Amino acid sequence: MAAETTAGMLVLRVLTPEGSVLEGDVFEVSLPGSEGELGVLPAHAALLTQIVPGPLAYRAPEGQGVIALGRGVAEVRDDRVTVLVEQAVAADEIDAAAVEARRKQLLAERESMGITEERLEAIGEELAVIEVQLRVARPESAH
């Protein structure tokens, strides 16, 4: 990744606690913000926004890409978009069968007796991220 932004481009960085998911130059990016979808082009005004589970889409010189995001924050400043999230998985790295199996496991756990409110909330958060991953992995069957 270049230290300076290329004219007409943004530097996009998607980071999780495990490390970098994407770093590179893009023409545009669309983020799932708490107030709705946020489109960012070069020369965008500086801002800080919450990220909700949803797809991040970008258009780069190499083509288009989609990343399933969990919760976090994004900062736009000086033609740089930095996204810090709990989870991020590129569409082409999602194992839809494994994600679907985890979804079924969580749904069954949610129905079990004696589950705490705290665990119910955690299941709800994980299911929200799983739904995004399934939509991103299977765009032809999006609901």
| Residue 56 covered by a domain | yes
Q: What's the pTM?
A: 0.87
- Which DSSP state fits 139? G
* CATH number, domain containing residue 71: 2.60.15.10
> Interhelix angle for 96-110 vs 117-137, to 10°?
150
| Closest by Cα among 120, 132, 46, 48 to 88 | 132
Same domain, 109 and 84: no
Same domain, 132 and 69: no
| Residue 3 covered by a domain | no
Position with higher pLDDT, 71 vs 5: 71
Same domain, 72 and 38: yes
Same domain, 57 and 17: yes
- How do residues 81-133 score in pLDDT, each as one tens digit? 999 999 999 999 999 999 999 999 999 999 888 889 999 999 999 999 999 99
Q: Are 10 and 40 in contact (CB under 8 A)?
A: yes
Please tell me the number of Cα atoms within 13 Å of 142 on its side-chain side: 9
Report the domain count for the chain: 2
**Residue keyed to tokens 């994004």:** 74
Same domain, 64 and 49: yes
Q: Which of 50, 71, 91 is the last residue of a domain?
A: 91
Determine the pLDDT at residue 8.
Answer: 84
| Residue 109 covered by a domain | yes
| Residue 36 covered by a domain | yes
Same domain, 27 and 87: yes
Domain of residue 117 covers 95-141
